[in-house]
């Protein structure tokens, strides 16, 4: 070995790497500070998450084959990092028999390391071959075939082969031509030593040198490719996971000081790339281009233009291509592309408006990239500054503003759902343990009204002391917020909080996951702090406490559809199923895509009030087909938006034979007494008591 060459290689490689990292760091720092914390709090929790998601590879095995292959390569790199350090040391010292490292062969620890290292060499080769097979032969839609990905895999394979060849040659040189051949602690090298022992010593020495220089050079080449490739995630994944948003999954970060920003003529939302936060830019650095987000995205799966992966890649390419202009190194105007608006220069508006904010992409992403926040930020600029958004949303915004409901139903009609029912109004009574926040859909949509009716009757039957706000209730603003109208959302939030606090509200019950998410996770940012329950949890609790006893058999084979805002974003999976399973006669079956892998119905993110963006089919139709394929005769939901979307979708296609009901409707059917109104549940066969 040659200490001078080793030293020069190391100095040149690390100097080049330092220059690249500095460039990336400067680019990261153009991000708009303050939009997301870059100085971390809750350090212990963050560190535990980094260990779980990075070392534990928690998300990777959701795709079993690719996940196991990635695990093999990841842990091989960890193990072989030690090997590389040993080899660099040998570049300075040179003697293959020199046993100065505790992990070098010959010591007990060294022997153990040698064996483990060989196991991981095999695993890394298998992992790399699996990825080559996936990329070149299987070619799943989610993966992009590019030269960089193949190059990295070839480098890994060559490094592994060089490592084994190095061991084999070292074995022959150390033991001599007649020495022992097989060493169980270095099985791969000693197997190779057999054929090599017949070569002249000089030739073995040359092979040994070649293998050594191949390994150390490729390590340094690999290091320098990283900052310019998707494999940069090897370096950025730990900080990206560490700096992740620890807030509730369903919460959007508010635009602070909206009025002040308007006065100062600052951008509302994100218009240009530098208006993304440093954390958001770090997300772009960290994307591995695995395509899992796109694979699970309901918009992408139904042929819409939106691909969350492509969105990230496009933004990253734009960022890198405009490095000089963004970091101020070029002031001649020749690189002014970064000054153009991201929409439409980099992002097609159709892409943005296809998102349902369902969170499937974020659930899947192995490196915890936030997609929804960025998409909503881009919408915010379009809506609040440019006035560019799908026409039907204008109607919804206008109705919320005018009458407090995206359905355009005025406040004095908001109690029509309660006709004939015993429904206490909060303004008329103080004897209230929990406020029932009805929500715009269950209060005003003809189909969803039957949900609020069932809930009201169940609350009365359980003896709950409850009340509704009645005409004082307004839209929470969820639709406006997710569609980018933060200004309208904040106005609604402030007005609602004033009313809720005026009644000294502590506990709220709602049958709408969107209201639930907003009241629970977003109103605290505006001073509204409440204990919020979704009716799935609340009804399950009433059954568990014996306050509701399902007795009447309801003959139905039910598939439960998980609402994204209840399930994925709030982790409520068990209680709706518990409610259904407690009803005699009900058999619950599962869709292949359910719980955190459940497919969105297509309503969230403002989609409920506009048409799907162009694509192969409606999201709701695709989801209904999945549910029908279970053989169930009834689709159950715990969300008025889902219920409406899936009901409409069933009527659109060849899926008309299936019923759609909220869990509260089925439960009421089982609990109601003789002569009490059946409500919507009359569609369910109820023939035994």
Q: Which residues of this protein are in contact with ligand SF4, per CB under 6 A?
A: 287-293, 297-299, 306, 308-309, 312, 355-361, 364-367, 369, 371-372
Q: For ligand SF4, give the closer residue by CB, 312 or 451.
A: 312
* Token pair for 87: 């080899």
Which of helix, strand or coil describes residue 531? Answer: strand
Q: For ligand SF4, give the closer residue by CB, 360 or 572.
A: 360
Q: CB 439 → ligand SF4: shortest distance, Å? A: 21
Q: For ligand SF4, give the closer residue by CB, 144 or 327.
A: 144
Helix ranges restricted to H, 475-534: 478-482, 486-502, 513-517
Q: CB 363 → ligand SF4: shortest distance, Å? A: 8
Q: CB 283 → ligand SF4: shortest distance, Å? A: 8
Residue 158: half-sphere exposure toward Cβ, Cα within 13 Å: 18
Nearest to 124 by CA among 157, 151, 87: 157
Q: For ligand SF4, give the closer residue by CB, 110 or 308.
A: 308
Q: For ligand SF4, give the closer residue by CB, 299 or 469.
A: 299
Q: For ligand SF4, give the closer residue by CB, 243 or 580.
A: 243
Q: CB 305 → ligand SF4: shortest distance, Å? A: 11
Which of helix, strand or coil describes residue 588? Answer: strand
Q: What is the rounded distance in angstroms from the CA atom of residue 689 to the CA atom of residue 681? A: 15
Nearest to 499 by CA among 441, 555, 437: 437
Contact by Cβ (8 Å): 687, 556: no
Nearest to 208 by CA among 222, 9, 216: 216
Nearest to 322 by CA among 381, 272, 266, 379: 272
Q: CB 629 → ligand SF4: shortest distance, Å? A: 21
Q: For ligand SF4, give the closer residue by CB, 452 or 607.
A: 607
Q: For ligand SF4, give the closer residue by CB, 242 or 526.
A: 242
Q: CB 286 → ligand SF4: shortest distance, Å? A: 7
Within 8 A by CB and 6+ apart from 95, the residues are none
Q: For ligand SF4, give the closer residue by CB, 371 or 659.
A: 371
Helix (H) or strand (E) holding 372: helix 372-381
Q: Torsion-angle region of residue 433: left (phi > 0), alpha (psi -120 to 50) or beta?
A: alpha
Vertex 33 angle, CA 27 and 37, to 5°: 110
Q: CB 233 → ligand SF4: shortest distance, Å? A: 7
Contact by Cβ (8 Å): 539, 458: yes
Beta carbons within 10 angstroms of residue 317's beta carbon: 12
Q: CB 431 → ligand SF4: shortest distance, Å? A: 42
Residue 62: half-sphere exposure toward Cβ, Cα within 13 Å: 21
Q: CB 567 → ligand SF4: shortest distance, Å? A: 13
Q: For ligand SF4, give the closer residue by CB, 208 or 353.
A: 353
Q: For ligand SF4, give the closer residue by CB, 297 or 684.
A: 297
Q: Among all chains, which residue has been given the structure tokens 């003896």?
A: 463
Q: Is the peptide bond before 344 cis (omega within 30 degrees of 0)?
A: yes
Q: CB 304 → ligand SF4: shortest distance, Å? A: 8
What angle separates helix 3-28 from helix 64-93, to the nearest 10 degrees?
130
Reported in sequence order, the residue ranges of 368-408 that DSSP labels E, i.e. its strands, are none
Contact by Cβ (8 Å): 557, 590: no
Within 8 A by CB and 6+ apart from 410, the residues are 403
Q: What is the rounded distance in angstroms from the CA atom of residue 312 to the CA atom of residue 149? A: 17
Q: What is the rounded distance in angstroms from the CA atom of residue 403 to the CA atom of residue 591? A: 39
Residue 37 burial (C-beta neighbours within 10 Å; 0-12, 13-18, 19+):
middle
DSSP state of 180: -
Q: CB 444 → ligand SF4: shortest distance, Å? A: 26
Q: CB 156 → ligand SF4: shortest distance, Å? A: 19
Sheet of 507-510, strands arranged across: 466-467, 434-437, 507-510, 531-534
Q: Among all chains, which residue has been given the structure tokens 């002014």?
A: 336
* Token pair for 322: 């405009």
Q: What is the rounded distance in angstroms from the CA atom of residue 16 to the CA atom of residue 597? A: 43
Contact by Cβ (8 Å): 360, 298: yes
Q: CB 160 → ligand SF4: shortest distance, Å? A: 25
Q: CB 62 → ligand SF4: shortest distance, Å? A: 10
Q: CB 600 → ligand SF4: shortest distance, Å? A: 6
Helix (H) or strand (E) holding 589: strand 586-589
Q: CB 497 → ligand SF4: shortest distance, Å? A: 27
Q: What is the rounded distance in angstroms from the CA atom of residue 105 to the CA atom of residue 96? A: 10
Q: For ligand SF4, give the closer residue by CB, 238 or 579.
A: 238
Q: For ligand SF4, give the closer residue by CB, 74 or 407.
A: 74
Q: For ligand SF4, give the closer residue by CB, 297 or 382.
A: 297
Q: For ligand SF4, give the closer residue by CB, 531 or 611.
A: 611
Q: For ligand SF4, give the closer residue by CB, 307 or 399.
A: 307
Q: For ligand SF4, give the closer residue by CB, 353 or 487.
A: 353
Q: What is the rounded distance in angstroms from the CA atom of residue 276 to the CA atom of residue 30? A: 9
Q: What is the rounded distance in angstroms from the CA atom of residue 239 to the CA atom of residue 114? A: 31
Q: CB 390 → ligand SF4: shortest distance, Å? A: 15
């Amino acid at each position: 070995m040659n200490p001078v060459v080793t030293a020069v290689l190391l100095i040149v490689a690390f100097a080049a790497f330092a220059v690249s990292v500095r460039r990336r760091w400067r680019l990261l720092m153009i991000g708009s500070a303050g939009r997301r914390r870059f100085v971390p709090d809750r350090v212990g929790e963050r560190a535990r998450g980094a260990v779980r998601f990075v070392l534990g590879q928690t998300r990777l095995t959701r795709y079993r084959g690719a996940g196991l292959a990635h695990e093999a390569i990841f842990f091989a790199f960890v193990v072989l990092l030690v090997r590389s350090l040993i080899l660099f040391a040998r570049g300075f010292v040179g003697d293959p028999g020199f046993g100065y490292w505790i992990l070098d062969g010959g010591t007990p620890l060294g022997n153990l390391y040698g064996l483990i290292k060989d196991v991981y060499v095999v695993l890394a080769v298998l992992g790399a071959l699996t990825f080559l097979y996936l990329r070149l032969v299987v070619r799943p839609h989610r993966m992009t075939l590019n030269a960089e990905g193949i190059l990295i895999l070839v480098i890994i394979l060559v490094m592994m082969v060089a490592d084994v060849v190095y061991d084999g040659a070292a074995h022959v040189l150390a033991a001599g031509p007649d020495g022992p051949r097989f060493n169980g602690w270095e099985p791969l090298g000693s197997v190779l030593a057999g054929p090599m022992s017949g070569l002249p010593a000089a030739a073995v020495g040359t092979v040994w040198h070649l293998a050594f220089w191949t390994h150390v050079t490729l390590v340094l080449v690999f290091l320098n490719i990283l900052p310019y490739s998707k494999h940069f995630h090897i370096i950025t994944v730990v900080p990206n996971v560490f700096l992740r948003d620890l807030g509730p999954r369903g919460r959007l970060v508010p635009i602070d000081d909206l009025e002040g920003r308007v006065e100062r003529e600052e951008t509302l939302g994100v218009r240009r790339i530098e208006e993304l936060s440093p954390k958001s830019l770090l997300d772009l650095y960290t994307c591995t281009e695995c395509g899992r987000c796109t694979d699970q995205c309901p918009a992408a799966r139904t042929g819409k233009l939106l691909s969350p992966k492509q969105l990230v890649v496009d933004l990253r390419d734009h960022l890198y291509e405009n490095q000089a202009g963004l970091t101020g190194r070029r002031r001649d105007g020749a690189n002014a592309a970064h000054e153009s608006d991201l929409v439409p220069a980099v992002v097609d508006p159709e892409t943005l408006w296809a998102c349902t904010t369902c969170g499937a992409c974020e659930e899947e992403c192995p490196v915890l990239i936030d997609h929804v926040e960025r998409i909503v930020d881009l919408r915010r600029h379009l809506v609040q500054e440019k006035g560019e958004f799908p026409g039907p949303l204008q109607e919804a915004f206008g109705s919320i503003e005018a009458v407090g409901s995206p359905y355009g139903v005025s406040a004095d009609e908001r109690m029509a759902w309660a006709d004939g029912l015993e429904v206490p109004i909060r303004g008329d009574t103080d004897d209230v343990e929990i406020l029932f926040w009805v929500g715009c859909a269950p209060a005003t949509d003809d189909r969803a009204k039957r949900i609020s009716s069932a809930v009201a009757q169940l609350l009365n039957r359980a003896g709950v002391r409850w009340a509704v706000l009645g005409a004082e209730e307004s839209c929470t603003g969820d639709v406006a917020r997710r569609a980018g109208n933060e200004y309208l959302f904040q106005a609604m939030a402030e007005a609602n909080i004033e009313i809720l606090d005026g009644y000294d509200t502590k506990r709220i019950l709602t049958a709408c996951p969107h209201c639930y998410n907003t009241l629970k996770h977003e109103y605290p940012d505006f001073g509204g702090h409440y204990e919020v329950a979704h009716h799935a949890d609340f009804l399950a609790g009433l059954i568990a406490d014996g306050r509701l006893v399902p007795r009447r058999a309801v003959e139905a084979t039910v598939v439960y559809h998980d609402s994204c805002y209840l399930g994925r974003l709030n982790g409520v999976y068990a209680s709706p199923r518990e409610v259904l399973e407690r009803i005699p006669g009900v058999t619950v079956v599962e869709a292949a895509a359910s719980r955190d892998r459940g497919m969105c119905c297509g309503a969230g993110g403002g989609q409920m009030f506009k048409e799907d963006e162009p694509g192969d089919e409606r999201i709701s139709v695709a989801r209904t087909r999945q549910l029908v394929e279970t053989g169930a005769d009834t689709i159950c939901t715990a969300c008025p938006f889902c219920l409406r979307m899936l009901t409409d979708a069933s009527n659109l296609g060849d899926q008309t034979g299936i019923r759609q009901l909220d869990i509260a409707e089925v439960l009421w059917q089982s609990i109601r007494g003789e002569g009490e109104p059946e409500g919507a549940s009359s569609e369910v066969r109820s023939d035994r008591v």
